[in-house]
Structures are given as C-alpha cells and as structure tokens.
Amino acid sequence: MGMLDGILGQLGGNLDVSAIAEKVGIDPAMAEKAVAALGQSHAEPGDTIEGAAAKTGLDVGQLGQIAQQLGGEGGLEKISGMLKDNPALSNVAGMLDRDGDGNPLNDIAGMAAGLFGKK
C-alpha cells in the first residue's frame, strides 16, 4: 500500500489506508481499491460514490465514509488529479478484479476458496 499511502500523505493529516479500512470496517486491500475507484470516478461524469460503488461492489454508505476520511470533495479532487498524473497508480483499482467485470467481490471469494483448497 506504499504508493497509495504516499498519495494520502500529500493530502495532509494522518490519513492512511489501514486506518481508513479500520474506521469503515473493511479489509485494507479493499479500502485501497475504494480510494482508487473514488479518485477515478471523481473524474468521470455522474455521481462519484455511485461510480465507485459500481467499480468496487462496496456499499455507497461505506464509500461515503471513505470519501469523508479523504477530505470530501477537495480530497477526491486531489486524488483524482494525482491518479491522472501517475497512471501506474490507476492500476491499483483493477488489482482485485481479475475477471474485469467491475466487481472484485466474486474474485476475492474465489481467491479465498483457493486458499482453502476449494474451487
């Protein structure tokens, strides 16, 4: 999570992905994906949180809490700009969605099943 934590550090305050994940009650890897999806969705037409929900499969309430932790509209604008300036960071949003369907939850479940020897 180093690259994304570096971006959050530029926003100021004590923002880090693990702390945000803990406050919202999700896994840090999913929180990282949510932050990236919020940044990407902010630059797209339509509602930022609904766009990020479609990309991550997370509840809009959880994404709203994450957006607040990031500094609201101003923080999302900064993250969006940083993602544009650093295209490699945009790949963070697609890391968990192996099949590219826009919902990483089925892929995460598949990974977990693989850990326990089930498919």
pLDDT single digits (tens) 94-111 = 554 555 555 555 555 555
Average pLDDT, stretch 28-39?
88
Of 9-13, 22-26, 54-58, 77-81, least confident by mean pLDDT is 9-13
Report the pLDDT averaged over residues 26-37: 89
- Type of residue found at 118: K
Percent of the chain at pLDDT exceeding 90: 29
Closest-CA residue to 58 (of 103, 94, 16) = 103
* 3-class DSSP assignment, residue 38: helix
From residue 51, give the alpha-carbon distance in Å to each of 16, 22, 35, 72: 22, 23, 12, 15
| pLDDT band at residue 54 using 50, 70 and 90 as cut-offs | very high
Domain ranges of the chain: 2-115
